[in-house]
A and B are shown apart, each in its own frame.
Chain A
Amino acid sequence: MAKLGKDFIAIRDLPKAHLNYLLSQAKHFKTFFSRPNKQSPALRGKTIANIFFEPSTRTRSAFEMAGKMLGAGIMNLQMSATSINKGETIIDTVKNLHALGVDVLVVRHHIAGVPKMIADHIPIPVCNAGDGYNEHPTQGLLDIFTMLEHCKSLKDKHVTIVGDIKHSRVARSNIYGLTMLGAKVTVCGPPSLIPMGIESLGVKIETNLKKAITKADFINVLRIQIERQQSGHFPSLREYNEVFGITSHSLAYAPPHTIVMHPGPINRGVELSSEVIDSDRNVILDQVTNGIAVRMAVLFYLLTGAEA
């Protein structure tokens, strides 16, 4: 099989075999977590630079944990405090990081396409940690990985993604990965937050939440951002909660085995009720743990040139 690519930018571009390879590697790396000594020397001597142009808790920490568990050195750059503020272009900044000798760049940016642009300008691997509304491929991987802990295969499984689909990179990475693996994906949210042409990605649109979840094996609930209400995409948080909130009341319309997921951070009482968050119907904290395993798999593959 072909060598994996230089970069990890999008699930959209990933051959199915590579997706399966990363998922199986992540399963292997997850076994490290229960070992007495969790660290492996696999990436000793390598340096990972986390460059985040946007705030992040979970993703950045998970990359940091993943790198440390593989023995790599980690450099965290908070880009608001760097020369970007002095007018340096992104391309010049990353060329400098390359000159400093880092081995892989983990990039988050609020604009779609920035990790790809960086990857086109430097020879070292680039890992996308979320770019605008484009993709969050490691989140997509960890969501799929978590689902696969509850079923053998995703073929013909029903997954409903609820929330702001338009401004969601998580939704897109989920859609690309899930449809590749044969799942039946439905997106649900206010029509003003459903992007044009999304059905061409092979998903169903259903704006009635109850109908959208009747067959759902998994419900992936997206974070609703307050600024979308301020920009007029929906009227109020209260209305959103009553129409699209996942509560014990709305969950009654889903099958009893339905599993609730959320990429975090959660707005309690908006897209998810506290009852649901604190019940055993969700796997939200498993997602966080699995986030380390899939990022170990991605970093390992980018830095060792592993062959699938």
Chain B
Amino acid sequence: MPETSENIHGIELVRAAFLGEKTARAPWVPFVGCHAAALIPMPTSDYLRSTEAMHKGLNLAISRYRPDGIPVAFDLQIEAETLGCGLNWAEETPPSVSSHPLVEGVTLGELQVPDVDAGRIPLVLEVARRLRAEHPDLALYGLITGPFTLALHLLGTDIFMRMFDDPEDVEKLLSFCSDVGVAMSSYYLDAGCDVIAVVDPMTSQIGPDQFAQFVTPYAKPVFDFIREKDALGSFFVCGHAQQNVESMCKTGAHNLCVDENIPLDFVRDVSRKHHVSFGGNLQLTTVLLLGKPEDAEKNAVQCLTIGENHGFVLAPGCDIAYDTPPENLEAIGKLVIDPYRQETVATLAETRSLDDIFDMSQYGLTDKVIVDIITLDSEACAPCQYMVEAVQKITPEFEGIVQWREHKIKYREEIVFMTSLMVKNVPTICIDGQITFVSQIPPRDELIAAIQKRINQKMRDRIQSQRASVYVLGDTEEACEPTRQQVDRAVMELGADVNVSVVTDEFEIRSFGIPLSQTPAIVTAKYRVQSTREVPEVAVIKEWIKSLQ
């Protein structure tokens, strides 16, 4: 095994990253919310209302994506629902709020902080408890609705006008939402969560001054509470919230998490200045949903490069889309624990615009069997070294028939070679241009068997390329018939792959150097395919001709 941090517990990695420490690798926290419903599969509307379904869906996600942390639920309507907001349920997204109690006659004084048994709260807490028991090493995220977003759910977009008309009332509402946040944090922590994520996407709509007035004083008590409990707190925001990153650092959160709308290096620089860790910002739609595993890997490597394994959590910016292809997330799950894969992806990304791809159609037509080993560099990469040694050891047994070469992709021409062979992983063994062993070091017997198979294949190909014909010559079909029957019988008894042709045209018979008077006659001819789809050099053709004489 390569020297990776695969065996480090997710919770330890997440904790270290949250505390701004350098980590053996960045923790990977896919925000699997409604996407877990697709894994079962079932509509989100059923999923988010069933403990059993959420428990099952999240376990599927955990086993497939190998995360270091995972949210119990990604639904910012749980608190709103208990407080009287109407919900519209959908099949592939979380529900949305359809009515706001504070504009429908309910007063703030009538609202109570939801207790632990309200609405769907016990449901998600039970999911948290089960996951805690089953995955003691995984960082469990409890997601709560941020005070500003919850206030919007309760009051609707009137809040933006009230911020001018009646700021005191808005502040009272936000204070209530902050209390709800503290209560929700306490429920999730009691159920075994390690991290509380305060998710406040609506704050992207306001500027830093309003953030200081209407967000910081109400988010801070939540993070203070989380810190008192020796737990970890993250501030999640999505949208164009670049203007507030500095303000977010002052809320008391250990960590900020952003989506692709904010450049990750900007967040890194600002948050480090404030000794806050950061996370993000895999692209949800263009990469995770619509891209391929290679795209997901590339995007992950871009994020990891910026994160520098230093106070950084690799995560998407928001709830992963319902029908995101699981293989994209699986690819990231494998990539994060494989530094060699990361290096390969990074190197390939740098040279993706290569236009000089080799024509490999003739590759493998030589007499010898060519074993190509594509490596990062066998001197610097342990698995590459083992793979090269494995090939090196067995080649003498083939007494010169097998020739091996190492291609280190730190050199440009070797990347072109790798791309031409359509190799995507390192290290890889290609036998006569065919990808044969990917990433794994083949056991000696398997490697010998694979090369032997290729040698046998080549032998068969060679025999097949030396095709032969038997010509039966005569002035009429009838005259040729007895001879042709004898030839057919001989071919059949030998089981030979030979073409039998009858030639009766006088000029053609003469072209064989036989006068008509000497018929019936038999001529045999043997052909050998020397080249295909190319114009060979004259010198090469001369060599072929010489071998005929």
The finding on whether chains A and B are genuine partners in a shared complex, rather than unrelated, reads: no
Name B residues whose Cβ lies closer than 8 Å to a Cβ of A. none
Name A residues whose Cβ lies closer than 8 Å to a Cβ of B. none
